[in-house]
């Protein structure tokens, strides 16, 4: 979560002339040179999508072994201990004062509210793939929040992508409304926690050490889930081997690795562009559900997933935008740093 308020679109190291963070050096004739960092950056998004999607499949197995809130509480407790230890060993700088409060709020939204509600939705019988499809609306909500809060310019092509992706999600879940109302409501609440927390984190959580900030999020969320577990459930584990395996994956992969990846991507890019990755998660979740759980896809789900894929392409390939209040003063030099013959062109007011 370090430097996560950088909304200028710059991703390179401070003090360098690489405004998009894709080049480490250049050949003597000025041509760009592919680097290890470029390969790592290119792998961030696929790794994030795959690992995030696995959480829905693992959650279906987990709620069969233990109640959903107990499962979430256990996941957060283990992750909090591990991340706190890692932060202490690395002598990370912990947030304080108002900054600590912002980290805590973002943790309650992105962690406690999102996952507590999501796991309850799955526990009511709503399939994990359907919950992932509901979360597929995340990019559209993020765009709605990010434009007024962060000042990010959203191009018309991106709005078409958001709209098509959101419509695809609605088509895919059209035959799933026979499940409990509680499950659908909880899935929507989890979506709101994810979208609102992502934008809040990008806006207010800046210059925070990655390990320490994520550890604080789990430390704050763990007691909240503990109280909810005690108040609404009977904390009994029905299948300890399955519970242990699921808890290990959730704590190590879904709680630590995934959110470190998410925070790194938020630090380096526009929040609306990071949000478009969530259009791909339903597709990957559906494939994993078929491979691991043997759950097939209905015709509406296939159509909706295809629409979501087209939507993410439209949104992700739209021209790079600069926030309205952070337009670079020297447009010509910004263009030359990329090796372009023409400087950056500011989008028109209409967003076309």
Over its length of 352 residues, how does the chain's per-residue pLDDT go in tens digits? 434 433 333 334 444 334 333 334 444 555 454 455 566 667 788 888 899 899 999 999 999 999 999 999 999 999 999 999 999 999 999 999 999 999 999 999 999 999 999 999 999 888 887 788 788 778 778 777 776 776 667 778 878 887 887 787 778 767 666 667 788 889 999 999 999 998 888 888 877 888 899 899 999 999 999 999 999 999 899 999 999 999 999 999 988 888 788 777 877 765 666 766 777 787 788 888 888 888 777 787 778 778 877 876 777 665 444 344 443 444 333 343 444 444 444 444 333 3
109 closest CA partner among 197, 34, 44: 197
Neighbours of 29 (CB within 10 A): 5
Instruction: Looking at 207-280, list the stretches that DSSP marks H as alpha helix, in order from N- to C-terminal side.
Output: 210-232, 240-249, 258-268, 271-275
pLDDT value, residue 3: 40
CA distances (Å), origin 327, targets 9, 273, 338: 10, 18, 16
Q: Are 256 and 83 in contact (CB under 8 A)?
A: yes
- Give one DSSP letter per residue of 8-19, joined into a string: SS--S-TTSS-T
In the chain, where are the structural domains located? 43-323
pLDDT at position 102:
94
Per-residue pLDDT, 267: 73
Spatial distance between the Cα atoms of 139 and 294, rounded to a whole number of angstroms: 28
* N- to C-terminal Cα separation, the chain: 32
The model carries a pTM of 0.71
Residue 321, C-beta contacts closer than 8 angstroms, at least 6 positions apart? 9, 152, 153, 154, 155, 270, 347
List Cβ neighbours of 83 (8 Å cut-off, separation of 6 or more): 211, 214, 215, 218, 256
Query: How far from the centroid of its chain's Cα atoms is residue 297's Cα?
Result: 24
Residue 255 has which token pair? 């709680």
Q: Which residues are CB-neighbours of 34 under 8 A, at least 6 positions away?
A: none
Two structure tokens written together for 301: 């789900």
Q: What was the pLDDT predicted at 240?
A: 95
What is the SS3 assignment for 26? strand
For residue 32, list its beta bridge partners: 26
The pLDDT value given to residue 352: 37
**CB neighbours of residue 303 within 10 Å:** 15
C-alpha to C-alpha distances, 183 to 128, 129, 352, nearest whole angstrom: 11, 13, 39
Which alpha helices (H) appear in 64-127, and where do they start and end?
68-89, 97-107, 114-123
Please tell me the predicted confidence (pLDDT) of residue 321: 42
CA atoms within 13 A on the CB side of 93: 9
State residue 330's pLDDT score: 41
User: What is the distance between the alpha carbons of residues 304 and 241, in angstroms, rounded to a whole number?
Assistant: 36
């Amino acid at each position: 979560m370090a430097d996560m308020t950088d909304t200028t679109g710059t991703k390179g190291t401070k003090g360098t002339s690489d405004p998009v963070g894709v080049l480490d050096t250049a050949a003597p004739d000025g041509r760009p040179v592919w680097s290890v960092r470029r390969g790592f950056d290119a792998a961030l998004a696929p790794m994030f999508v795959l690992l995030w999607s696995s959480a829905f499949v693992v959650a279906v197995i987990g709620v069969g072994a233990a109640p959903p809130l107990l499962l979430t509480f256990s996941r957060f407790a283990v992750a909090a201990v591990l991340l706190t230890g890692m932060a202490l060993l690395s002598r990370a700088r912990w947030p304080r004062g108002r900054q600590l409060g912002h980290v805590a709020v973002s943790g309650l939204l992105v962690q406690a509210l999102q996952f507590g509600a999501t796991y309850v939705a799955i526990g009511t019988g709503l399939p994990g793939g359907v919950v992932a499809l509901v979360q597929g609306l995340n990019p559209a909500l993020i765009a709605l929040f990010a434009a007024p809060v962060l000042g990010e310019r959203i191009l018309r092509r991106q709005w078409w992508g958001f709209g098509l992706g959101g419509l695809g999600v609605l088509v895919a879940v059209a035959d799933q409304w026979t499940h409990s109302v509680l499950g659908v409501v909880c899935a929507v609440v989890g979506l709101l926690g994810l979208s609102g927390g992502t934008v809040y984190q990008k806006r207010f959580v800046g210059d925070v050490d990655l390990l320490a900030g994520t550890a604080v999020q789990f430390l704050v969320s763990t007691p909240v889930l503990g109280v909810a577990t005690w108040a609404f459930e009977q904390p009994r584990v029905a299948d300890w081997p399955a519970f242990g395996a699921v808890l290990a994956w959730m704590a190590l992969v879904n709680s630590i690795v995934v959110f470190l990846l998410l925070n790194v991507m938020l630090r380096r890019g526009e929040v609306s562009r990071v949000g478009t990755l969530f259009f791909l998660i339903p597709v990957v979740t559906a494939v994993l559900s078929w491979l691991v759980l043997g759950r097939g896809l209905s015709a509406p789900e296939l159509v909706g997933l295809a629409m979501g894929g087209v939507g993410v392409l439209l949104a992700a390939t739209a021209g790079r935008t600069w926030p309205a209040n952070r337009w670079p003063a020297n447009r010509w030099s910004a263009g030359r740093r990329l090796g372009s013959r023409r400087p950056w062109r500011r989008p028109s007011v209409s967003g076309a």
